[in-house]
Each structure stands twice: as structure tokens, then as C-alpha cells.
Amino acid sequence: MIYTVTFNPAIDYVVRLDSPLQVAAINRATGEDCVLGGKGINVSGVLAQLGVESVALGFIAGETGAWLERGLAAQGLHTDFIHLQEGMTRINVKIKAGQETELNGAGPNIPEAAMQALEAKLDTLQKDDVLILAGSIPACLPQTTYERLLARLQGRGVRAVVDATQDLLLKVLPYEPFLVKPNNHELAEIVGRELTNDDEIVTAAASLQAQGAHNVLVSMAGDGALLLDENGTVHRIGCPKGKVVNSVGAGDSMVAGFVAGYLRTGDYRYALRLGTACGSATAFSVGLATKADIEKLLRTI
């Protein structure tokens, strides 16, 4: 089974204006949507489109948390959230008015008892299960949280996938994650130098491998992606043609496609193709990738 963890889920309230946002004035929306998400939840959503079951773990609170949980269930996602006694699941306001303005909520405080409840759920994971940790750590938790969880699972054969930046990513490498997915800019920050070509990216990816990562997947937006697999083979893929209308969730979608593709075939080349199709399908859509869009793009890669 695949498990995703979202520490700070959100309801994105997306408001569209047909003119620039006016400060200190009344602005009337021309359209609005509510999107349920968070990075791990995005991964679960795309996995569902691929026909792959997962369980979304994390923390929710208040009426907004109940709304998010019901909405995900209506989408067919399996969840096993921990219900916090205080606070509320955050609402992020996204104002699209030519330029985009965002106001992101802080989210509820996560007490130690809630973290222990999450660990109790992770204690049930079995050999070859997949645990996907994606995104930043809320301010209420220490930045060692990912390390804490992976240390608890060490030696049990659980495949960890980590999509995080800088120190969060570096500090989990000793726990030998199955996959890490920095983008090329994040990878450059990690190794402390500019990466100007594929050879330099491969060298930088190999340094993460030397520290413990089995597979390093480097996304490069419109330039495609590069995978250095655990056998030392380099796989390079371009990006399918299309108009980018939404970059939110594209990286999460790539992770979902890669994991689904590998579990389905055991073939890293196919996993990279499916991951690229999923990431691009989300980038070319208003929301997350759909099965039809993924299949259409996959045939072109």
C-alpha cells in the first residue's frame, strides 16, 4: 500500500477577478473555486486517477477539516487523518487578477500526542509499502520531523519517497530513501553551485546517492527531467508540448506517476515516462491531472 503524509492540509479558495486587485476597496469576483489539497493529498489524488490505491495521512481540525475530509471521500480518496482537538484546517486565499496574490493560513498546532498518534499509524506499515513525505514542515513542528519518522521505520523494508528542499532533504539521506525528487534549482542549492548542463546535474545527483538515496529524480520544468537510478543508469526525458496554465501540484503529480509506474512494471524508464506525463498533465490543466489527459500525453512521450 502507498501512504502519503500531509502535515498541514488546506482548502484553497481561488478567486478570479477580471481587473487588477484594488487595495482598500471592494473587489467583486468573476468566478471562484474551492480546491482541497496539500502536497501529499495531491499525490493521492493523482494516484487515484491512475487506478492506484493510497491512504492519505495527516492532521485536520475544526469544521474546515471535516469539510476537507468529506470532500476527499467524495472524490474516492481513502483517508486516515488524525483529528486535532483545537484550531482549524487552514484556508489559503488565491486571488487571480492578472498577477496572482496569495494569503496562506497558518493551520492548527500539532501537539506531541498527535505526532505519537501518527507514528502509531506508521507502525502498521509492512515491507514494500511506500511512504511519501512531501513539502515543508509546519512551524509548530521541529525541522527534524522527517528524520524522526524515517528513523522509526528504518530496517523494516518500507520504501520512503521524499520531496523536500535543502536541509529537510539532506538530513533524510542517511535513512536511504527509495526516491528523492529535487528540482534542478533545489539541487543546485543543495550542492552549492550552479548546474548548467546534464553532466553537472548527474554529478550533483550522484552526490545525493552517495549519501544514501537510492534513486534521484530531478525535475527541470520545461526541460523535462533526469533520473539517476539505483543501478547507476541515467535516464533523460524531455517535456511534452503544451501550454503551462498551472504549476501547482505538477511536482506532486510527477511523484505519483513515477511511484505508480515503478510499482506497476519495476521499470525505471517507464516510471520516468509516466511521471513526466502526470506532471505535464497537471501543468497543462487548471486542476490536477486526469486519467484521460495523462494517457493522451503518455502516448506522445
Confirm if 270 and 229 have CB atoms less than 8 A apart.
no
Amino acid at 98: G
Return d(Cα 256, Cα 96) in angstroms, integer: 27
3-state secondary structure 259-294: HHHHHHHCCHHHHHHHHHHHHHHHHCCCCCCCHHHH
Hey, is 44 helix, strand or coil?
helix
Return d(Cα 18, Cα 38) in angstroms, integer: 27
Partner residues linked to 105 by β-bridges:
none
CA 240, 264, 229 angle in degrees (round to 5)?
Answer: 65
> Which is the catalytic residue, given 18, 252, 267, 293?
252
C-alpha 62 chain-centroid distance = 24
Amino acid at 293: D
Confirm if 27 and 130 have CB atoms less than 8 A apart.
no
- DSSP secondary structure of 49-65: HTT--EEEEEEEEHHHH
* Residue 33: its H or E element: strand 31-37
Return d(Cα 44, Cα 106) in angstroms, integer: 23
**What does the DSSP 8-state code read for residue 221?**
G
**Catalytic residue check, 252:** yes
Query: Which residues are the active-site residues?
Result: 252
